[in-house]
Structure 1
Amino acid sequence: MPEWIFGLAGVLTASAPLLIAVIGETFSERAGVVNLSVNGAMLLAAMAGFAVAVQTGSLELGFFAGAIIGALMALVVAFASLTLRQSQVAVGLVLALLGRDLAYFLGNPFMGVPGPRVGALPIPFLKDLPILGPLLFQQSPIVYIALLTVVLAWIWIFQTRPGLVLRCVGERPPAAFVRGIPVTRIRYGYAVLGGALVGFAGAAYTLDLKGGWQGPISGIDGIGWIVLAITIFGGWHPVRGAFGALLFAWLQWVSLVLQPSLPGIPSQVLNVAPFPLMIFALLLTNLGNTEWVHTALSRLPESSRRLALRILRGLQVSPPAALGMVFEEES
């Protein structure tokens, strides 16, 4: 079997927690709640999920603990913003820092401790298919859950009546309220759901992808900020967000592949390269409307200018109109 197939299978494995977390944040922001605590929530859920799994011997309880922590942190953000009318950004940033510090402090006893880990679950018959077998059907259950989450999220948001309500709440909450939709309650629900998915994704790192808790060297810190960036890059769309998560995982894989070929470049540079590249991709989503870009493109030949404009327009995204805005329901 060609090595590139196993490489792409590894990319899919590495992207699975990202996929789940991006879908969670997409649900939250589609409802109008910006949860900036994602990075701290993922770290705390990763540590606590592993700790619970070690103490109980149950992977299921470990994932449940991670989801509960993510949901509770999202609930704090929702309560502070929707009920107390405080800044979602400020509360989320404080919780992100608090969650990170708590994870490192409380996780000291579990650093380097062996614990249970999710194994591969090949699907009978399908695992023997050429190319698709090793790529898709010899994966961990977390990969299957991630792919299923993307599909279900797309169906829910764009093909169901509750999904239409969700989009209405995130775009025009006054209009939704006039039609009898409980805007605040729905925002609470999706914020907590999104937080639970983020927490589940955090636990997936230590219970599946990383196989344990290593504190600051676990390689999880910073992933939450990438989740927020991918959510924006994905235009708050599950499928496009999934593409962003796969792109980031692919960039990480490429950086590893290139290390032996580029001995003159420090490995640390290649390891962190996917982060600025992802941020650059995020910037491209907002460049199409800037005057200086249109001025620069006007100097290109007509065919090249049209191609560049078509690419920039394809990357452009618009956030939900009421994202981050507090809506007060009148009694």
Structure 2
Amino acid sequence: MNFAQITPILATAIATSTPLVFACLGETVTERAGVINLSAEGTILLGAMTGFAIAKTLESTGTFPSLFLGFAGAAVVGALIALIVALGTLTLKQSQVAIGFVLALLAANLSSFLGNSFVRIPGPTVPSFKIPVLQNIPVLGELFFRSDLLVYLSYAAIALIWTYFYRTRAGLMLRAIGEQPNAAFARGTNVVLMRYLYTAIGGAMMGMAGAAFSLDFKAGWSHLHTAGYGWIALAIVIFGGWNPLRVALSCYLFGILQSLASVAQSTIPTIPTQVFTVAPFMLMILLLVLTSSEWLEQLLKLLPSPIDRTASELIRSTPPAALGKVFEQD
């Protein structure tokens, strides 16, 4: 395989990773605020069904209006599910893990029930859009600028969320309510209200991720249309160390693994297709285990000090200190 063959594979991997980027960034925002939203699997599925159903129903209004309303509807559904998680965990003080897991199952089954009449029918999809001038840049143009508006929006989302986290006062406060909520409260921040807000924002992004599947990269709707991606999104957030940039790069790594699995499936027909389908998921889990192991930290200590520190910072995954913990706001 030469470089000319690798470039299209990488371009496809980057583009098809876009729904996962939205989902993982949404979960990153939520968890940075101290809330675990385990409903990701069901949220993505219900968002995919809702987005496709709305866009298909309103198809006569035109491609762009129907797509916009489809994505908006999916975002609202995602935000509502996230608010249920927030209500149960922040106000009622119940287990975040239990509520999220139950909602994941409920929303997944609800998507199959409500979306039955939309199964395997054609609908509107996001049109491709190549960016003038930028598309002609050698290699980079083919990799990043010959896709569609949704992909470009994901680039902007990565940059905006990273900037918000690390270059704004509001982002500093967001990280504070996930790390030291008592200190944030002492400085006058309404921790519970802010956690509600960021949980809803994260849920809306996961709902949009579902619509991105059904209206673009896996166009259409079917039973369990995006099955498995919600769980892998939760794993990627951990693998990415709750850093928007690292999380996005982890999404692209998963996309590359999927693309390579597809290539391998066509070149090695003797191996069952199921092996290539599950291989990217298994490899991401394996990488998560390896980067979380204590022996890796010990191995890095054998390297020269500057390299050891840099590698440790890149690999280490430390969750927000208050993640999943109940906060009593008097």
Using structure 1 for the length normalisation, give the TM-score.
Answer: 0.92
Per the alignment, do residues 303 and 54 of structure 1 end up closer, same or farther by CA in structure 2, a change over 3 Å counting?
closer
Per-residue deviation at 1:9? 1.1
Q: Which runs of 4+ in 1 moved over 6 A?
A: 306-310
Q: Secondary structure at the match of 2:124?
A: coil
1:65 is aligned to 73
Per-residue deviation at 1:64? 0.5
Asked if 1:270 is matched to 2:276, the reply is yes
Per the alignment, do residues 268 and 129 of structure 1 end up closer, same or farther by CA in structure 2, a change over 3 Å counting?
same
Of the three residues 132, 136, 149, the one matched with 1:124 is 132
Check whether the contact 1:24–1:194 (CA below 8 A) recurs between aligned residues: yes
Structure 2 residue identity aligned to 1:50:
F
Per-residue deviation at 1:16? 0.6
Write the distance in 2 (CA, Å) between the matches of 1:97 and 1:18.
19
Per the alignment, do residues 261 and 311 of structure 1 end up closer, same or farther by CA in structure 2, a change over 3 Å counting?
farther
1:92-125 residue CA offsets vs partner (Å, 9 max, x unmatched): 0000000110111111110111110001111122
1:123-171 residue CA offsets vs partner (Å, 9 max, x unmatched): 1222222222222111111110111100000000000000010011000
Higher mean displacement: 207-216 or 34-43: 207-216
Q: Secondary structure at the match of 2:147?
A: coil
Higher mean displacement: 2-11 or 249-258: 2-11
Of the three residues 231, 249, 254, the one matched with 2:255 is 249
Write the distance in 2 (CA, Å) between the matches of 1:158 and 1:177.
20
Higher mean displacement: 126-135 or 15-24: 126-135
1:4 is aligned to 6
Asked if 1:162 is matched to 2:170, the reply is yes
Asked if 1:259 is matched to 2:261, the reply is no
Matched length: 321
Per-residue deviation at 1:264? 2.8
Per-residue deviation at 1:314? 3.9
Per the alignment, do residues 309 and 154 of structure 1 end up closer, same or farther by CA in structure 2, a change over 3 Å counting?
closer
Of the three residues 110, 113, 117, the one matched with 2:121 is 113
Per the alignment, do residues 310 and 177 of structure 1 end up closer, same or farther by CA in structure 2, a change over 3 Å counting?
closer
Matches within 5 A, 1:155-194: 155-194=163-202
Per the alignment, do residues 303 and 85 of structure 1 end up closer, same or farther by CA in structure 2, a change over 3 Å counting?
closer
2:320 is aligned to 320
Check whether the contact 1:288–1:309 (CA below 8 A) recurs between aligned residues: no
Structure 2 residue identity aligned to 1:272:
V
1:17 is aligned to 19
Write the distance in 1 (CA, Å) between the matches of 2:313 and 2:188.
36
Write the distance in 1 (CA, Å) between the matches of 2:197 and 2:129.
32
Q: Secondary structure at the match of 1:189?
A: helix
1:295-315 residue CA offsets vs partner (Å, 9 max, x unmatched): xx69xxx679x9999856642
Write the distance in 2 (CA, Å) between the matches of 1:176 and 1:17.
33
Write the distance in 1 (CA, Å) between the matches of 2:166 and 2:286.
29
In the alignment, structure 1 segments of 5+ residues that lack a partner are: none
Of the three residues 153, 159, 163, the one matched with 1:151 is 159
Q: Secondary structure at the match of 2:156?
A: helix
Structure 2 residue identity aligned to 1:325:
K
Structure 2 residue identity aligned to 1:104:
S
**For the aligned residues, what is the CA RMSD?**
2.2
Per-residue deviation at 1:261? 2.8
Write the distance in 2 (CA, Å) between the matches of 1:40 and 1:47.
11
In the alignment, structure 2 segments of 5+ residues that lack a partner are: 60-65
Write the distance in 1 (CA, Å) between the matches of 2:310 and 2:75.
40
1:227 is aligned to 233
2:213 is aligned to 205
Write the distance in 1 (CA, Å) between the matches of 2:110 and 2:308.
46
Q: Secondary structure at the match of 2:36?
A: coil
Check whether the contact 1:287–1:312 (CA below 8 A) recurs between aligned residues: no
Write the distance in 1 (CA, Å) between the matches of 2:70 and 2:109.
20
Asked if 1:76 is matched to 2:78, the reply is no
Using structure 2 for the length normalisation, give the TM-score.
Answer: 0.92
Write the distance in 1 (CA, Å) between the matches of 2:101 and 2:329.
26
1:240 is aligned to 246
1:287 is aligned to 293
1:190-212 residue CA offsets vs partner (Å, 9 max, x unmatched): 00000000000110000010111
Write the distance in 2 (CA, Å) between the matches of 1:131 and 1:309.
32
Structure 1 residue identity aligned to 2:246:
R
Q: Secondary structure at the match of 1:121?
A: strand
Q: Secondary structure at the match of 1:51?
A: helix
Write the distance in 2 (CA, Å) between the matches of 1:5 and 1:49.
31
1:51 is aligned to 53
